[in-house]
């Protein structure tokens, strides 16, 4: 097990030296708070979405975060992407504390850390062709001539299983699965080292879902990119992840190697979640149903 | 004025214009509706516009106005300002087609010159409004924080004074004259455009593609100008068109009141004002300029409507519609046992273009049985459910087949007879509990109405029954919760309320269309358990529509697998999952990740479900099927005794769920 | 509830303050010199200065504003520069007339607009619906003052059914007051009726297409009940916002109508004061209108809470 996860860690967060030996990403005692609507009187309300969560991801590995709505799993991803405020703890990427960036995120960080969102329709600009969307992702990080750029766009599309003729299409002209492939191509364009995948297959049909999962795993083998894979489906997360963290109400209640968490869940919430996760096998599902009814009777 | 935005705030921003249409500036809908318009879609929008006769008329009117305004000196037969007292108050004649006014000036010429004033005034004010408003709106929308608060406070101040009044006050300050008046109107427009722009920017800023652009490190200014701004333009174009009409009205009003134009200009409003003394003897003097104003404003307004309609996907003709040769309606009777509660036989449903959404669907549900219909989206599962209760969308009709509930035929039923089935014999539960309940009525009201729809219970009795139902579905504190509104319930609890409503009149069959898709994993399991226990306690039959094979494995006795509008396999769940007979069932089972698929690639189904107007020839699954042969590509594939539609059913050995 | 109203009133105060400051500044920027207007352009400079001093116009504008504000709070808005009648007095007679006209116009607009919109939504695309849409489009385009002229021409001049122009105070003769209000109210309300009909139609169509209507149908609830009890209430949520906007539009539009029908309302007074640069009247009237608009919005907010439980104060 090369990924080290320390749930509810008590370890002091001593400043880590920039080093190539440590984990690619290490999240230490992260908390995320949102300011809720402020009245005229100015009394701000806060919502704590994530409380004291720690984990790390090694190069080329996948950490799955699983949880239900309100578990804070998406907030963790957004905090790493610097789209959500960090109210406590540290996020260290490649040895560098992201808090030191200040307001401006360095371009190198944008290049290294990319994202694939759940809903590919809203994550692609409806008024830009696929080529424009991917093109600007490439040229922002690597100034290229028009010809070179076009070639790279074609390569990027090819890598995610789309053809060159998709380049001139608009998002609404593609199917959900194709759109998600475009989103993956855009995320890969700057040649990142970590991709935050926020429920990347939840909006897709079964057959398309498996296509996208396979693509993500293939790309990881090819490019050694790391994933933070956020989802609500324990079966999907287990399939793609090396390690799993289970989130409940903003806290990480259990973490460990994927198989261990899946086969011998320790925390009662993980047990309940697993018992509630449906499997497409009547015999095994019958066992799970019995188990979850037993758990439900206890609760 | 209000800090806490109410839902209608966007609408209420439109104070300035008597005709700003709130529906048009709603950012969510408007923007989403327009979202489909890239350059290629733009061309499509244009073509669609040109097909609207009304819009064409408006464009012609606009062109006429421009020609009249620019060419006034050439076109007008007389100098509009030259008095000729000898000729005053003439009726229409060969010399003066539309007669003359109280100073003997030619009415036709004055109308023509009035076009100039009107057009100039409206374009000037709208241009001022657009430049100022869009700029400010982009700025405060994107910067947010204090800038936004200050901007909106100023907008509140400006808009708490009615537009006309503000124009009057500004004219008083700036001095009368068309330019000043229109500057005033332009400033008022700016406030409105600022609000629209800001609203769209705020809505777009929340979109994930902006987040993605930020993650890519694109510059803020670039995101603003290249990503967000293009999405602002469609609602703005519509509003600007309508604002042109409003500006024209305000110009006419100000001129009518004598504060707009100066004496050297000709304005329709001033012509109207001047006509008032002579209106009883010379009504034409009042009618003509008024008609000119009305027609012009009408043209601008309808143009705005046309632009909106052309840009909205609702009016978009479906691609491929009407091209497809109609499929024959086939009905293969399938034997069903005598104790079946519901018998669907050879059901075919078509849309208004004749495309078959579902074809020859046959299945039955026994008393006390849970029957599942499973398949990917676009395969016709929900249409099947809707057809049973006569809830098909507009234009979609049952083209053949029968739906029998015990001895009564449901296909073709309407009016009171259909109502007697809905809720009373068949209850229905929907996917999204959030939208399946009226947001502005209490849960109690909605439950008692459902109860009283089929029973003679008094209000008090119905209320007690409603509380009973909530207890039945496991909602705590039923008496209290009956007074609550849907938004006060969590998703799982709301779905329990929807189920309670479906059970209000003890139906024999409960149809649940994706009942747990919108719910969290643990809540989903609870709702499935609830449905199972209800079925047992109330001795109902249950029809579950789902895309999730896990739901079928958990809850169903028998299952029908649907693909491309047809049932391709229909057997007991154990058999179908253990030894599937149709390649599509096999493929679906293999595509789901499970404990045995560790690290290895999942099985996939190439391609995707085709749309209803493009069902393939032969076996509809053949383009995606690894076992397809040439025979599979022609002819129709009948269903066998297990409802399996596969020519190779006897030769294939397919893998089941692992 | 009381707390909510108070909170809303409080939050409207800063806006009101800004409005008054804005109007005050605006009005005092007017190039027209009231002193010159009263005494005539050719009056001796010394006389002008004396009058200016006497009227308090030579002091800094900020001081003048504070003075005015202090008076305004106690209901003293100063005196007209011309008639010397207290502004509050002349405004209060005018505003009553204008408001009654605006309310009558709104009543007509609601009575015509809501049912028409509902009917159109029930049968979208039919001939009746298309006819309605056409009438609505015309209603939106016709200038109210022209409609007023035409109404007078037809019903008063040609048919002689109703008085041509003029206003009878309600205290003198309620019957004459009512007949005198009919044409102005129609001229005023027709545009708003069109706006409301259009909004109602589209909101009703949305409501009738929503999933909860499908749910209600699936429960076997009668179509009539679904329309009357469920769809209309849901549709009124967006329509209410439009009604609030239209109320302030009506107040302004009534100024023009007053002129055509020679109704001595606020508008007549206001236009006179614009022409004569009668500051106290002008600013008093505008601020008063702003107060009315803010109150109407507050009322709409409260009603909104009644209709829409989501925004109801907890």
- The ipTM of this complex is 0.87
Q: What is the full DSSP assignment across B355-400? A: -EEEEEEEEEEETT-EEEEE--TTSSHHHHHHHHTT-PPTT-EEEE
Strand B340-350 relative to strand B356-366: parallel, antiparallel, unpaired? antiparallel
Task: Please give, rounded to a whole number of angstroms, the shortest distance from the CA of B582 to a CA of chain C.
Answer: 34
Q: How much is the pLDDT for B312? A: 57
Q: Which residues of chain A lie closer than 8 angstroms to B525, CB-CB?
A: 275-276, 278, 292
Residue C22 to residue C18: CA distance in whole angstroms = 6
Q: Structural domain boundaries of chain B?
A: 52-312, 341-570
3-state secondary structure chain C: CHHHHHHHHHHHHHHHHHHHHHHHHHHHCCCCCHHHHHHCCCCCHHHHHHHHHHHCCCCCHHHHHHHHHHHHHCCCCCECCCCCCEHHHHHHHHHHHHHHHHHHHHHHHHHHHHHHHHHHHHCCCCHHHHHHHHHHHHHHHCCHHHHHHHHHHHHHHHCCCCCCCCCCCCCCCHHHHHHHHHHHHHHHHHHHHHHHHHHHHHHHHHHHCCHHHHHHHHCCCCHHHHHHHHHHHHHHHHHHHHHHHHHHHHHHHHHHHHHHHCCCCHHHHHHHHHHHCCHHHHHHHHHHHHHHHHHHHHHHHHHHHHHCHHHCCC
Residue B356 to residue B350: CA distance in whole angstroms = 4
Name the closest residue on chain B to residue C8, using Cα atoms: B2
Convert the pLDDT of each residue in C266-295 to its tens digit.
888 888 887 777 778 888 888 888 888 888
Query: Please, what's the b/e burial string for B321-347 (b: 16 or more CB within 10 A of its CB; e: otherwise)?
Result: eeebeebeeebeebebeeebbbbbbbb
Convert the pLDDT of each residue in B555-605 to its tens digit.
999 999 999 999 999 999 999 999 999 999 999 999 988 766 666 788 888
pLDDT beyond 70 at B362: yes
Q: Rounded to two decimals, what is the model's pTM?
A: 0.84
Question: What percentage of residues in chain B have a pLDDT greater than 70?
Answer: 88
Under an 8 A CB cutoff, do B161 and C19 touch?
yes
Residue A152 to residue A143: CA distance in whole angstroms = 12
Q: How much is the pLDDT for B338? A: 74
Query: Pick from A213, C71, C255, C66: which is nearest to B600 by CA?
Result: A213
Q: Least CB-CB distance to B441: which of C11, C210, C230?
A: C230
Q: Least CB-CB distance to B15: which of C8, C146, C245?
A: C245
Q: Structural domain boundaries of chain A?
A: 10-266, 267-299
Q: How much is the pLDDT for C244? A: 87
Torsion of Cα atoms, B503 then B507 then B512 then B518, to 10°: -10
Contact of B157 with chain C, judged by CB distance below 8 Å, is answered with yes
Task: Please give, rounded to a whole number of angstroms, the shortest distance from the CA of B584 to a CA of chain A.
Answer: 10
Under an 8 A CB cutoff, do B657 and A272 touch?
no
Residue B135 to residue C132: CA distance in whole angstroms = 38
Q: Which residues of chain B lie closer than 8 angstroms to C214, CB-CB?
A: 391, 430, 436
Task: Please give, rounded to a whole number of angstroms, the shortest distance from the CA of C166 to a CA of chain B.
Answer: 15
Convert the pLDDT of each residue in B437-493 to its tens digit.
999 999 999 999 999 999 889 999 999 999 999 999 999 999 999 999 999 999 999
Q: How much is the pLDDT for C1? A: 65
Rounded to 5 degrees, what angle do the CA atoms B74, B77, B83 make?
120
Under an 8 A CB cutoff, do B440 and C307 touch?
yes
| C91-311, CATH topology level | MetI-like fold (1.10.3720)
Q: Least CB-CB distance to C141: which of B245, B501, B505?
A: B245
Q: How much is the pLDDT for A173? A: 86
Contact of B7 with chain C, judged by CB distance below 8 Å, is answered with yes
Convert the pLDDT of each residue in B64-113 to its tens digit.
989 988 888 888 888 887 787 777 777 788 787 788 887 878 888 888 88
Give chains near A: 3+ CB pairs under 8 A: B
Tokens (6 digits) for A39: 């009245």
Under an 8 A CB cutoff, do A278 and B550 touch?
yes
Interface test with C, best of B18, B122, B312 (most C CBs within 10 A): B18
Tokens (6 digits) for B179: 């330019």
Largest separation between any pair of C-alpha atoms in chain B? 105
Q: Which residues of chain A have pLDDT under 70?
A: 1-21, 37-44, 297-299
Torsion of Cα atoms, A137 then A142 then A147 then A153, to 10°: -30
Convert the pLDDT of each residue in B106-127 to its tens digit.
888 888 888 988 898 899 999 9
Under an 8 A CB cutoff, do B35 and A126 touch?
yes
Q: How much is the pLDDT for B81? A: 79
Question: Ramachandran region of residue C143, left (φ > 0), alpha (ψ -120 to 50) or beta?
Answer: beta
Under an 8 A CB cutoff, do C199 and B437 touch?
no
- Asked if residues A214 and B601 have their Cβ atoms less than 8 Å apart, the reply is yes
Q: What is the mean pLDDT of residues C195-223?
A: 94
Under an 8 A CB cutoff, do B594 and A293 touch?
no
The residue that leads in pLDDT, A40 or B329, is: B329
Task: Please give, rounded to a whole number of angstroms, the shortest distance from the CA of A95 to a CA of chain B.
Answer: 20
Under an 8 A CB cutoff, do A124 and B209 touch?
yes
Task: Kindly report the CATH class assigned to B341-570.
Answer: alpha beta
Looking up tokens 């309508």, which residue turns up? B242
Looking up tokens 């949520």, which residue turns up? C237
**What is the dotted CATH code of the domain comprising B52-312?**
1.10.3720.10
Under an 8 A CB cutoff, do B170 and C26 touch?
yes
pLDDT band at B23 (very low <50, low <70, confident <90, very high): very low
Residue B129 to residue B186: CA distance in whole angstroms = 5
Interface test with B, best of A280, A295, A296, A297 (most B CBs within 10 A): A280
pLDDT beyond 90 at C104: yes
- CA-based R_g, chain A, Å: 20
Interface test with B, best of A205, A218, A298 (most B CBs within 10 A): A205
- Asked if residues A67 and A117 have their Cβ atoms less than 8 Å apart, the reply is no
Contact of B454 with chain C, judged by CB distance below 8 Å, is answered with yes
Name the closest residue on chain B to residue A162, using Cα atoms: B607
Q: Structural domain boundaries of chain C?
A: 2-73, 91-311
Under an 8 A CB cutoff, do C19 and B440 touch?
no
pLDDT beyond 80 at B299: yes
- Asked if residues A121 and A177 have their Cβ atoms less than 8 Å apart, the reply is no
Tokens (6 digits) for C242: 């439009």
| CATH entry, A10-266, from 3.40.50.2300, 3.50.50.60, 3.30.70.3280, 3.40.50.300 | 3.40.50.300
Beta-carbon pairs below 8 A across chains A and B: 192
Q: Least CB-CB distance to B376: which of A205, A214, A218?
A: A205
Q: How much is the pLDDT for B4? A: 39
Name the closest residue on chain B to residue A124, using Cα atoms: B209
Q: Which residues of chain A lie closer than 8 angstroms to B589, CB-CB?
A: 280
**DSSP-assigned beta bridge partners for residue B364:** B343
Residue A22 to residue A16: CA distance in whole angstroms = 9
Under an 8 A CB cutoff, do B217 and A111 touch?
yes
Q: What is the full DSSP assignment across chain A? A: ------TT-----PPPPP-SSS-SEEEEEEEEEEEE---TT---EEEEEEEEEEEEE-TT-EEEEE--TTSSHHHHHHHHTTSS---EEEEEETTEEGGGGTTSPPHHHHHHEEEE-S-HHHHS-TTS-HHHHHHHHHHTTS---HHHHHHHHHHHHHHTT--GGGGG--GGGS-HHHHHHHHHHHHHTT--SEEEEESTTTTS-HHHHHHHHHHHHHHHHHH--EEEEEES-HHHHHHH-SEEEEEETTEEEEEEEHHHHHHS--SHHHHHHHHHS--S-HHHHHHHHHHHHHHHHH-
Q: Least CB-CB distance to C286: which of B154, B169, B298?
A: B169
Task: Please give, rounded to a whole number of angstroms, the shortest distance from the CA of A281 to a CA of chain B.
Answer: 6
Q: Least CB-CB distance to A214: which of B214, B524, B601?
A: B601
Q: Is A54 exposed, middle or buried (0-12, 13-18, 19+ CB in 10 A)?
A: buried
Q: Where are any strands of DSSP class E within B103-157? A: none
Angle, nearest 10°, between helix axes B178-205 and B27-35? 80
What is the distance between the terminal CA atoms of chain B, rounded to a whole angstrom?
63
pLDDT beyond 50 at B314: no
Residue C8 to residue C4: CA distance in whole angstroms = 6
Q: Least CB-CB distance to B22: which of C218, C242, C260?
A: C242
Interface test with C, best of B3, B154, B172 (most C CBs within 10 A): B172
Contact of B15 with chain C, judged by CB distance below 8 Å, is answered with yes
Under an 8 A CB cutoff, do B15 and C198 touch?
no
pLDDT beyond 50 at C77: yes
Q: How much is the pLDDT for C231? A: 95
Q: Least CB-CB distance to B160: which of C19, C210, C225?
A: C19
Q: Least CB-CB distance to B553: which of A125, A233, A285?
A: A285
pLDDT band at B1 (very low <50, low <70, confident <90, very high): very low
Name the closest residue on chain B to residue A111, using Cα atoms: B216
Query: Pick from C101, C105, C147: which is nearest to C264 by CA?
Result: C101
pLDDT beyond 70 at B419: yes
Q: Which strands, in side-by-side order, build the sheet including B541-546? A: B426-429, B509-513, B541-546, B370-374, B558-563, B566-572
pLDDT beyond 90 at B154: no
Q: Least CB-CB distance to A69: which of B520, B589, B602?
A: B520
Under an 8 A CB cutoff, do C216 and B438 touch?
yes
Q: Which residues of chain A lie closer than 8 angstroms to B211, CB-CB?
A: 78, 81, 83, 115, 117, 123
Under an 8 A CB cutoff, do C282 and B290 touch?
no
């Amino acid at each position: 097990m090369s990924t080290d996860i320390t749930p509810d860690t008590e370890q002091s967060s001593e400043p880590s030296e920039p080093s190539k030996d440590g984990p690619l990403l290490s999240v230490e005692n992260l908390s995320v708070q949102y300011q809720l609507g402020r009245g005229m009187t100015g009394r701000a309300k806060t919502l704590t979405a994530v409380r004291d969560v720690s984990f790390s991801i090694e190069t080329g590995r996948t950490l799955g975060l699983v949880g239900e709505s309100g578990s804070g799993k998406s907030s963790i991803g957004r905090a790493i992407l610097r789209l959500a405020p960090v109210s406590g703890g540290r996020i260290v990427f490649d040895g560098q504390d992201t808090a030191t960036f200040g307001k401006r995120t360095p371009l190198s960080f944008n290049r290294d850390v990319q994202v694939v969102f759940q809903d590919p329709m809203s994550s692609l600009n409806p008024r830009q062709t696929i080529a424009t969307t991917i093109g600007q992702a490439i040229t922002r990080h690597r100034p290229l001539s028009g010809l070179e750029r076009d070639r790279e766009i074609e390569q990027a599309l090819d890598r995610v299983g789309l053809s060159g003729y998709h380049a001139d299409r608009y998002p609404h002209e593609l199917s959900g699965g194709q759109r998600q492939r475009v989103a993956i191509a855009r995320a890969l364009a700057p040649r990142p080292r970590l991709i935050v995948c926020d429920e990347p297959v939840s909006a897709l049909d079964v057959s398309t879902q498996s296509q996208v999962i396979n693509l993500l795993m293939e790309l990881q083998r090819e490019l050694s990119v790391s994933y933070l894979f956020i989802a609500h489906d324990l079966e999907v997360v287990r399939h793609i992840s090396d390690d799993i963290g289970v989130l409940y109400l903003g806290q990480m209640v259990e973490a460990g190697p994927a198989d261990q968490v899946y086969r011998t869940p320790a925390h009662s919430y993980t047990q309940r979640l697993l018992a509630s996760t449906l499997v497409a096998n009547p015999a095994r599902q019958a066992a799970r149903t019995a188990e979850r009814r037993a758990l439900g009777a206890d609760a | 004025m209000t800090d806490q935005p109410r839902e209608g705030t966007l609408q209420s921003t439109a104070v300035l214009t008597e005709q700003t249409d709130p529906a048009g500036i709603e950012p969510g809908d408007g923007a989403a509706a327009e979202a489909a318009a890239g350059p290629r879609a733009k061309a499509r929008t244009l073509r669609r516009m040109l097909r609207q006769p009304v819009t064409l008329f408006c464009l012609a009117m606009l062109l006429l106005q421009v020609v009249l305004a620019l060419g006034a000196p050439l076109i007008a037969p007389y100098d509009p300002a030259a008095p000729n007292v000898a000729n005053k108050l003439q009726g229409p004649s060969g010399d003066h087609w539309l007669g003359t006014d109280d100073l003997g000036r030619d009415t036709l010429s004055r109308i023509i010159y009035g076009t100039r004033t009107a057009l100039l005034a409206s374009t000037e004010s709208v241009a001022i409004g657009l430049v100022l408003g869009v700029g400010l709106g982009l700025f405060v929308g994107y910067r947010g924080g204090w800038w936004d608060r200050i901007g909106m406070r100023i907008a509140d101040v400006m808009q708490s004074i009615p537009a006309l009044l503000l124009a009057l006050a500004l004219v008083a300050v700036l001095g009368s004259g068309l330019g000043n008046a229109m500057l005033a109107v332009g400033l008022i427009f700016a406030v409105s455009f600022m609000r629209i722009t800001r609203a769209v920017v705020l809505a777009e800023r929340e979109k994930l593609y902006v987040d993605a652009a930020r993650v890519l490190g694109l510059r803020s200014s670039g995101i603003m100008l290249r990503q967000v701004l293009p999405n602002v333009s469609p609602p703005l174009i519509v509003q600007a068109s309508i604002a042109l009409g409003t500006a024209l009205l305000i110009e006419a009003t100000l001129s009518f009141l004598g504060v707009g134009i100066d004496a050297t200009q000709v304005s329709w409003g001033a012509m109207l004002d001047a006509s008032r003394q002579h209106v009883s003897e010379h009504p034409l003097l009042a009618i003509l300029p008024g008609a000119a104003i009305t027609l012009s404003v009408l043209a601008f307004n309808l143009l705005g409507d046309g632009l909106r309609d052309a840009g909205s996907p609702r009016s978009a003709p479906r691609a491929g519609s009407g091209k497809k040769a109609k499929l024959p309606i086939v009905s293969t009777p399938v034997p069903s046992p005598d104790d079946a509660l519901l018998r669907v036989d050879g059901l075919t449903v078509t849309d208004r273009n004749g495309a078959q959404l579902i074809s020859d669907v046959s299945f039955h549900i026994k008393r006390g049985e849970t029957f599942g219909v499973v398949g990917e989206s676009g395969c016709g599962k929900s249409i099947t459910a809707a057809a049973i209760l006569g809830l098909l969308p507009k234009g979609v009709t049952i083209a053949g087949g029968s739906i029998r509930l015990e001895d009564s035929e449901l296909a073709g039923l309407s009016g009171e007879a259909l109502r007697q089935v809905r809720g009373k014999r068949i209850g229905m539960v929907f996917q999204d509990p959030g939208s399946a309940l009226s947001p502005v009525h209490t849960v109690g009201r909605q439950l008692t109405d459902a109860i009283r729809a089929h029973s003679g219970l008094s209000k008090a009795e119905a209320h007690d029954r409603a509380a009973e139902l909530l207890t039945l579905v496991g909602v705590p504190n039923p008496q209290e919760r009956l007074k609550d509104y849907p938004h006060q319930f969590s998703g799982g609890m709301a779905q329990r309320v929807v189920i309670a409503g479906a059970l209000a009149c003890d139906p024999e069959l409960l149809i649940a269309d994706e009942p747990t898709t919108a719910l969290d994993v643990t809540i989903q399991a609870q709702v499935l358990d609830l449905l199972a226990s209800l079925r047992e306690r109330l001795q109902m039959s249950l029809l579950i529509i789902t895309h999730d094979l896990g739901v079928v494995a958990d809850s169903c006795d028998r299952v029908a697998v649907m693909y491309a509008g047809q049932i391709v396999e229909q057997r007991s769940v154990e058999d179908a999952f253990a030894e599937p007979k149709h390649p599509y069932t096999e493929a679906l089972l293999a595509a789901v990740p499970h404990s045995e698929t560790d690290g290895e690639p999942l099985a996939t189904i190439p391609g995707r479900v085709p749309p209803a107007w493009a069902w393939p020839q032969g076996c509809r699954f053949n383009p995606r099927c690894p076992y397809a042969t040439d025979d599979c590509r022609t002819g129709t594939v009948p269903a066998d005794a297990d409802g399996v539609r596969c020519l190779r059913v006897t030769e294939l050995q397919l893998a089941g769920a692992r | 509830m009381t707390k909510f109203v108070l909170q809303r009133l409080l939050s409207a105060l800063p806006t009101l303050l800004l409005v008054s400051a804005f109007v005050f500044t605006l009005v005092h920027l007017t190039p027209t010199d009231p002193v010159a207007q009263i005494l005539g352009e050719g009056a001796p400079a010394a006389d002008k200065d004396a009058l200016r001093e006497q009227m308090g116009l030579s002091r800094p504008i900020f001081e003048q504003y504070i003075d005015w504000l202090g008076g305004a709070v106690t209901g003293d808005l100063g005196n007209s520069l011309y008639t010397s009648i207290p502004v509050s007095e002349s405004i209060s007679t005018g505003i009553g007339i204008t408001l009654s006209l605006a309310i009558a116009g709104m009543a007509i607009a609601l009575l015509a607009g809501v049912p028409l919109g509902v009917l159109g939504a029930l049968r979208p695309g039919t001939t009746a619906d298309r006819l309605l849409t056409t009438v609505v489009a015309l209603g939106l385009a016709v200038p109210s003052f022209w409609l007023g002229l035409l109404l007078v021409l037809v019903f008063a001049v040609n048919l002689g059914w109703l008085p041509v122009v003029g206003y009878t105070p309600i205290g003198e003769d309620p019957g004459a007051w009512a007949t005198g209000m009919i044409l102005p109210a129609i001229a005023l309300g027709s545009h708003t009726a069109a706006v409301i009909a259009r909004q109602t139609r589209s909101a009703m169509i949305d409501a009738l297409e929503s999933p909860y209507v499908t749910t209600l149908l699936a429960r076997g609830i009668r179509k009539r009940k679904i329309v009357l009890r469920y769809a209309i209430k849901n549709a009124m949520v967006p329509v209410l916002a439009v009604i609030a906007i239209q109320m302030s539009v009506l107040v302004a539009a009534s100024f023009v109508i007053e002129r055509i029908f020679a109704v001595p309302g606020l508008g007549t007074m206001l236009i006179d004061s614009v022409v004569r640069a009668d500051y106290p009247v002008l600013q008093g009237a505008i601020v008063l209108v702003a107060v009315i608009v803010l109150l109407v919005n507050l009322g709409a907010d409260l009603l909104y809470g009644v209709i829409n439980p989501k925004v109801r104060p907890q």
